[in-house]
Amino acid sequence: MSNTPPPSNPGLDLESEVLYQIYPQSFADSNGDGIGDLAGITSKLDYLADLGITMIWLNPIFDSPFKDAGYDVRDYYQIAPRYGTTEDLVTLVEQAHRHGIKVLLDLVPGHTSEEHAWFQQSAQPEPNEFSDRYIWTEHAFDNGAGLPFIGGEYDRNGTYILNFFKSQPALNYGFHQRNRPWQQSPDAPGPMATRQAMVEVMKHWLELGCDGFRVDMADSLVKFDTEDKQATIAVWQDMIGRVRAMYPNVILVSEWGKPELAHEAGFDMDFYLDWGDNGYHLLTRESPDPLDRTHDRSFFAQHSDTPATDFIVQYEPLYRHGLFNIISGNHDTPRLAPRLTEAERMAFFFFLLTMPGVPTIYYGDEIGMEYVKIPTKEGGYARTGSRTPMQWDSTQPNYGFSTAAPESLYLPVSGGPSVDKQPQLLALTRQLIAIRRTTPALQASAPLEFLPTPHPRLLAYRRSHLTIVINPSAQPLDYPDANGTMVAGIGGAELTGAGLHLPPTAAAIVDTDK
């Protein structure tokens, strides 16, 4: 099984990029108010550059009532005061560029906060330029034709459609299949005005120096679309085309999970998301509970019997369509620790940093920060336990995240690993990123070929002249077809006269040309 994906944008070189996701309120607090901020991120650029990071994605930083941690935008043109100012963002971008790091903002195009000025105008009973910026039904006793809706909140005679939480009314990009009078065509004046408004938002932040956007719920724009999302794709092709006409090097990565559609829409990258029993889920999250190790059947859990082929058969067809980023985790998924041991997480990072696409590291995963069960905060619910403060220095109050009193922190520090303790995983991450960035065979669109193995728990793949073999199991295993020079290894992996010997939870990169 071999394939080389096409470049997403021929003018854009993403080959050696490594993406790092920052949850801004939990990364670094510069002013002691207990909440992370833009100046705090700027103060940690040396750490990111030393790690080898080339691109950061900031979760939403725009003004918001924070009923969904900023994914309920109140003003696309205003930085949330708790994070700082526009000037602070410009400083961050300028300093990041000096460190060789690009900056992506989180764009939420499918909905806003109910407090957004657009929505407040749209909710007025008298027609105005924003009346069709959102999706409203014909009268206050109408339903949403199968879509979630709210009625009785405003004087306008209609109910409005939601995109996620109650506080997030859906912006109007039209309907592909229409069976009610209030369902507009994607090319009607209202939906076209919504497109233009979002294009202007993107242009504004690109003009200030930002490098691009991670796009939230990118597939959710046109309602009642076909399964292959052709109407939504057409909307994105239009908007991206207009932005790229002015900013040809803009970087766009989608939260879509279907790279064949995301790349057709014009995105440069897509994320492999944690969906139920999909291939990514099988790798590290096949557990009934984020903290349940006993019943964990994840491929990278040492005691599991899940074969490598369960992942391969799902991933390989998707990879063919372009850059498909594997993630260590994100703000919506439980962290791998403490359910997976450090050795198991090291094996997973070995995989993450040697696979195609742009590897994406969620802040703190590189040191083994742990998922904790804590009360919900800002609409996080079960996700809140993956959003705790970054742990910089175990000798400092709040692990160096903030000088505020512990009770004033955005979320409590979870404890455990920290940067100052230099966990083995952190050293491995730094080593593998350095190898990846200087080795074209390991980069984003270099060829990939999965290889047959003598045991179902072995995962082996070739990337040009390099062979990567991972043994996540509890037993020592041998891979006979790896002769050459060891480039990197963990867990005591070693080349012998009979090939590659891998003790439990071991992995290696072998250069077969040497």
Q: Indicate which residue of 260, 310, 342, 420 is catalytic.
A: 260
Kind and range of the H or E run holding 50:
helix 45-51
- 3-class DSSP assignment, residue 291: coil
Neighbours of 15 (CB within 10 A): 16
Q: Is 274 a catalytic residue?
A: no
Give how far Cα 201 sits from Cα of 121, 128, 204, 345, 464, Å: 18, 21, 5, 39, 41
Cis omega (within 30 of 0) for bond into 5: no
Q: List the Cα angle 8/435/58 in 5-degree steps.
A: 55
Give how far Cα 370 sits from Cα of 331, 337, 415, Å: 13, 5, 8
Q: Is 50 a catalytic residue?
A: no
Q: Indicate which residue of 114, 216, 270, 378 is catalytic.
A: 216
The phi and psi torsions of 456 (rounded to 5 degrees) equal -65, -20
* 353 close to 429: Cβ distance less than 8 angstroms: yes
Point out which residues pair with 479 in neighbouring strands.
500
The pair of three-digit structure tokens given for residue 132, joined into one six-digit string: 């069709």
The pair of three-digit structure tokens given for residue 432, joined into one six-digit string: 């593998």
> CA-CA distance, 48 to 364, in Å (whole number)?
11
151 exposed, middle or buried (CB, 10 Å; 0-12, 13-18, 19+)? middle
> CA-CA distance, 62 to 227, in Å (whole number)?
32
Please report where in the chains the tokens 């409203």 appear, as a residue: 136
Please report where in the chains the tokens 């039904």 appear, as a residue: 137
Point out which residues pair with 213 in neighbouring strands.
105, 252
> CA-CA distance, 389 to 44, in Å (whole number)?
14
Point out which residues pair with 507 in neighbouring strands.
470, 490
Residue 184, amino acid: Q
Point out which residues pair with 449 in neighbouring strands.
2, 462
Please enumerate in sequence order all residues whose Cβ is within 8 A of that of 447, keeping only pairs 6 or more positions apart, or say none.
2, 3, 4, 462, 463, 464
Please enumerate in sequence order all residues whose Cβ is within 8 A of that of 244, keeping only pairs 6 or more positions apart, or say none.
250, 266
- Side by side, the strands of the sheet bearing 477-479 are 477-479, 499-502, 494-496
> CA-CA distance, 300 to 406, in Å (whole number)?
35
Catalytic residues: 216, 260
